[in-house]
Amino acid sequence: MAEKTVEHLDTVTIRFAGDSGDGMQLTGNRFTSVSALVGNDVATLPDFPAEIRAPAGSLPGVSGFQLHFADHDILTPGDEPDVLVAMNPAALKANLDELPKGATIIVNSDAFTKPNLKKARYDSDPRHDGSLEGYRVYEVPVTELTIGALEDVDLSKKAKERAKNMFALGLMSWMFSRPLDPTIEWIESKFAGAPEVASANITALKAGYNFGETTEIFSHRYEVEPAQDLPPGTYRQITGNQAISYGLVAASERSGLPLFLGGYPITPASDVLHELARHKNFGVRTFQAEDEISGVGAALGASFAGQLGATVTSGPGVALKTETIGLAVAVELPLLVLNVQRGGPSTGLPTKTEQADLLQAMFGRNGEAPVPVIAASTPGDCFDAAVEGARLALKYRTPVFVLSDGYLANGAEPWRIPDVEDLPDLTDLPDFVAPPEDGEAFEPFARDPETLARPWAVPGTPGREHRVGGLEKADRTGNISYDPENHHHMTQMRQAKVDRIADDIPPLAVGEDSDADADVLVAGWGSTAGPIKAAVRRVRARGHKVARVHFHHLNPMPANTGELLGRYRRVLVPEMNNGQLSFLLRARYLVDAVGYNRISGLPFGSGELADAIVEQIQALEQDAAPTR
């Protein structure tokens, strides 16, 4: 057999798609892990239905996993797949419109039966009616080949069919020169108690790889060299939910406080609860409450008792936790509120991403109840956001919102593991009040002159007994007070405490890839960071001048925000909402902030953002052109 040609590529985007029971998320995760192990930079976009199990073969039941891997630093999971692996007709139909012409399509030909075509709402077989013209289509009988490879394995036919995702993974591993050993080791560990299942999956994986090697269908295979421009260090693959969990553990260790997480299962935040439950060796306590209100109530109670209290949820859960978050503002205790945003309103799109909870975090409580708000920008940055949230909560005795979203939560990237000694030292921040000296009166609402934080007195400390609750407190004494002037004063103090954080965070800075004399500034927050940075690269490559800035602290914003924004003739704000940050920037700083808004449940593509940026640049150029 002739040696197959090896073609070197610098970047590839693959999408695995099939039924929600076909194991596409597992397949994508394994391909991603191996790609990270061989040194590629990777970015992923899992996309799965909200239904636990939609009807097999139906369009609503399609589950997809897109991954982008490259020999250089990448910022997004890719705008368009170069390769689609479609395990049935529904997977093909659901994804075909997103493929560029010339893309490679690998279909499981065994699934293209008349019933499955009907379920996918095909009137004719797309393989034969011209629908796939312009694509490189490879038909592989994945199911038949998988069952054939497992002929001697003592499992039912249905159980053998379940291994077809491993056959597909093996085939793609051959096509893109990925080693099998890491996945084999993972299978052996995963199914250590079920050796027949482990053997079946390994056999199917090898069968897919060998099929690619021996079949005449494929004449090429591809290689993507390891990335050379990543900073040196020890890396691991990490998702946003894992990173935010590790950030909470790190904050606990660095502050010397035990971590308590109170929560209730909700997509896409539940994995934080699951992950932290694995780390009892760090003194972590996780509490799955009967509802959202109980979860945050327990977390606030833990803070009152002198622990690092946190609660995790998504937008609908925040709505239920609102009263208790307001209570945390009133009693001035540290509390981390982790909101992994999803599509809304109401139940909305549980498994799709969105960043429409910014104003909810800022203002979604009764009365004047200001809280700091931080947003993570990448999966790995979720770690830093959690640590920073803990720092502010402990130092200023306040609840803090840390915003993530479904894209960050489930997406993965290589993360450089930080040196523990480089993390912020939080040990002095709890600063619990000691028992009083003889005759000393305790004033639970006296304030630190620098931070305006009140004393933190752990229950049971002799002489430090005090009242807490939702009724307004008298300044210094903490007694219940209905005095009008006191209420005004306490309201101003709570606001001033949050405002002072602006001097305790880094100034806003334009990205290193910005043009100093640009007229257009692209301002983003949260998970738009990668698409915006990639779009700016494209725009500058076209010869245009543009600058970018990204907000990590949204309340308060950095002290120099107004001055920086004022340097530019126009500020473009891409958001996966109807313009919440642009609304805040226009209201606070009176800048010409223009929104680019799309709320589709998917992250922005860098190509569409590049076009939007160029449109703004050209509009300003036309405004400046002399009229005749």
Q: Which residues, other chains included, contact 551 with Cβ-Cβ below 8 Å and sequence gap of 6+?
A: 375, 508, 523, 524, 525, 557, 581
Q: Same structural domain for residues 181 and 284?
A: no
CB 487 within 8 A of CB 472: yes
Domain end: 374, 399, 422, which one?
A: 422
Give me the residues of the chain with pLDDT under 70, please: 1-2, 624-628
Tell me, yes or no, whether 88 lies in a domain. yes
Could you give the CA distance from residue 251 to residue 391 in angstroms, rounded to a whole number? Answer: 8
Could you say which of 224, 248, 268 is where a domain stops? Answer: 224
- Structurally, the chain folds into a number of domains equal to 3
Distance of alpha carbon 563 from alpha carbon 535, whole angstroms: 25
Q: What is the DSSP letter of 214?
A: H
Quick one: 170 and 248 in the same domain?
Answer: no
Q: What share of the chain is helix, strand, coil (3-state, %, to 5)?
A: 40, 20, 40
Mark whether 286 and 310 lie in a shared domain: yes
264 plus 201 within the same structural domain:
no
- Strand ranges inside 266-372, DSSP E: 285-288, 308-313, 335-341
One-letter identity of residue 558 = P
| C-alpha–C-alpha distance, residues 75 and 532, integer Å | 9
Distance CA 40, CA 339 (A): 30
HSE, side-chain direction, 13 A CA sphere, residue 176? 28
Same domain for 410 and 343: yes
Which residues does residue 412 pair with via DSSP β-bridges, in sequence order? 239
159 in a domain, yes or no? yes
3-state DSSP call for residue 140?
strand
First and final C-alpha spacing in the chain: 71
Residue 521: helix, strand or coil by DSSP? strand
Q: H helices within 443-572, ranges in order? A: 484-499, 529-541, 561-565
Structural tokens at position 446: 């006296």
Tell me, yes or no, whether 80 lies in a domain: yes
Residue with tokens 């109170």: 262
Q: What is the pLDDT of residue 4?
A: 81
d(CA 605, CA 512): 21
- Show the tokens assigned to 264: 């209730």
With contact defined as beta carbons under 8 Å apart, do 287 and 259 qualify?
no
Residue 53 pLDDT: 74
Query: Any idea what DSSP says for residue 256?
Result: T
Task: Please indicate, yes or no, if residue 360 is contained in any of the structural domains.
Answer: yes
Write down which residue in 422, 455, 470 finishes a domain.
422
d(CA 427, CA 421): 13
Is the entire prediction scored with pTM above 0.75?
yes
Phi and psi of 91, rounded to 5°? -65, -35
| β strands within 276-423, DSSP E | 285-288, 308-313, 335-341, 373-375, 399-405, 412-416
List, in sequence order, every beta strand (DSSP E) within 32-158.
41-47, 62-70, 83-86, 104-108, 136-140
Return the structure tokens found at 399. Answer: 């609840």
CATH number reported for the structural domain that contains residue 128 in this entry: 3.40.920.10
Phi, psi at residue 314, to the nearest 5°? -125, -175
Q: How far apart are CA 393 and CA 300, in angstroms?
A: 12
Nearest CA-CA partner of 56 in 103, 5, 118, 142: 118
Q: How far apart are CA 177 and CA 198, in angstroms?
A: 23
Work out the burial of residue 29: count CB atoms within 10 Å of its CB; fewer than 13 is exposed, 13-18 middle, 19 or more buried.
Answer: buried
342 lies in the same domain as 313: yes
Question: Which DSSP letter does residue 621 get?
Answer: H
Q: Can you give the pLDDT at residue 55?
A: 85
Instruction: Kindly state whether residue 500 falls inside one of the protein's structural domains.
Output: no
Amino acid (one-letter) located at 93: K
Same domain, 205 and 69: yes
What is each CA distance from 44 to 16, 64, 479, in whole angstroms?
11, 11, 53
Q: What CATH number is attached to the domain comprising 391?
A: 3.40.50.970
HSE-up of residue 266 (Cα within 13 Å, Cβ side): 29
**CATH code of residue 527:** 3.40.50.920
208 and 245 together in one domain: no
Question: Residue 457: inside a domain, yes or no?
Answer: no
- Domain span at residue 259? 235-422
* Pair 128, 211 in one domain: yes
177, 250: one domain = no
Residues 47-86: b if buried by 16+ CB within 10 A, e if exposed: bbbbeeebeebbbebbbbbbbbbbbeebbbbbbebbbbbb
